[in-house]
Amino acid sequence: MTRRTESNVRKILSTAAMALAVPTAASAATTAAPAMTEKASVSSSAAKRSARQNEHDEAHPELFPLKLRPAASAGTEAAEKAIQVKVLDAAGRRILLARAHGNITLGPLPAGEYTLQLCSGTSMEEHALKLGAGKRGLLRYELGA
C-alpha cells in the first residue's frame, strides 16, 4: 500500500468514525435524549459498597414473605385441612392463588396493603394485611375452628 492510499484510507475511517459518533440532526430529533443522572464521587471502599447497595435497592424493591399459621385454638384439624389462599392487592386484583396445608409461606411480595381470602370447605375468612418494613407479615387463621 502506498503512502497516498494509506492516507486516504485513514481519512475515510476517521470520517466514518465521526459519522457514527455524531448523530445527524434528523436522528437526534427522533431519538429521545438519555436522562442525565448525577452521581456523587465516591472515594472510600465503604462509600462504594453503600452506593452499590443503594443502586441495587432502587433496581429491586424490597420484598417480604407472607406467613400463614393455624391459630392455636384451631388445633390439629385446621393444620391437616387443605386451604385455598387468594391474595388481592389494594385495587382488588388477584396477585396470588395457592392451595396448601398448615403452615404456609407465600411470596415474597412487595410492600403494600393486601386482602387475603382463605377458604376451606364451606368456611371462609377474609383478612386485611400490610406488608413492609417493621411489619411481621404473619397471619393466624382459624377457618371454622
Mean pLDDT, the chain, rounded, equals: 76
Per-domain boundaries in the chain: 65-141
Q: Please write the tens of the pLDDT for every residue from 72-120.
A: 776 666 567 788 999 999 999 999 999 988 888 988 889 999 999 999 8
In the prediction, which pLDDT does 24 show?
Answer: 46
Task: Give dist(CA 72, CA 145) in Å, integer.
Answer: 10
- Residue 85's closest CA among 120, 45, 129, 122? 120
Q: Which residues pair with 112 in a beta bridge?
A: 131
Fold of 65-141: Immunoglobulin-like (2.60.40)
Residues with Cβ within 8 Å of residue 125, at least 6 apart in sequence: 116, 117, 118, 141, 142, 143
- Mean pLDDT value of segment 48-57: 60
* Structure confidence at residue 25 as a pLDDT band (50, 70, 90): very low
Written as one string, the DSSP assignment of 111-128 is SEEEEEEEEETTEEEEEE
Whole-number pLDDT of residue 92: 92
